Amino acid sequence: MSVYSFQAATIDGAEKSLADYKGQVLLIVNTASACGLTPHYKGLEELYQKYRSEGLTVLGFPCNQFGAQEPGTEEDIKQFCELNYSVSFPMFAKIDVKGENAHPLYTYLVEHVPAPYRTGDIEWNFVKFLVDREGQVVKQFGARTEPSALEADIQALLNK
C-alpha cells in the first residue's frame, strides 16, 4: 500500500486518484486560509515552482478542524489562494485530517511516517508530509516548519 491507493475530491469537485502522481515526489499539506501560518502558502508555491519540472508536486488539503480557520467554501478557498498567494499547485476539497471522520489518506500518512519523524498526530494547520517517488511517506514536518526548511530533503528525494 502507498499514497497512490487513495483518491480525493479536488477543489473543483472532481475525484482524483493519487495514483496520477506516480513517480513524483509529493509534499502533502493540510492548509487553512485564516491561520497565522497561512503565509506558508507562499513558500509552498515557491517550492512547487522551483522543483516541479524535476518532479515535485505540492498537494494542498484545506481543513477547518483547527481553530475554525478554514470556514469558507471550496470556491472561497480557491479564490483566496489564487488572489493572495498565486497558488498553482493542486488543491483539494476541504477534509478532516484527524478524528473519526479523518480522510483515509491522512490516517495512512500519520500511521506510516517512519521513526524518528513520526509524531502520531497532526497538531495544527500546515503539517507537511514528504512522500518519495514510490508513494512511501518519508518524513513529517510540524506546522511551524517553514517550507524552505524542506528544500534539502526535497532535493535528496528528487535526486534519487
Active site residue ranges: 35
**Helix/strand/coil for 8:** strand
CA distance 133 to 157: 8
Task: Give me the amino acid identity at 115.
Answer: A
**C-beta separation of 59 from 24 below 8 A:** no
State the angle between helix axes of 151-158 and 40-51 in degrees (0 to 180), rounded to the nearest 10.
30
Size (the chain), residues: 160
**C-beta separation of 33 from 81 below 8 A:** yes
State the SS3 of 15-62.
EEEHHHHCCCEEEEEEECCCCCCCCHHHHHHHHHHHHHHHCEEEEEEE
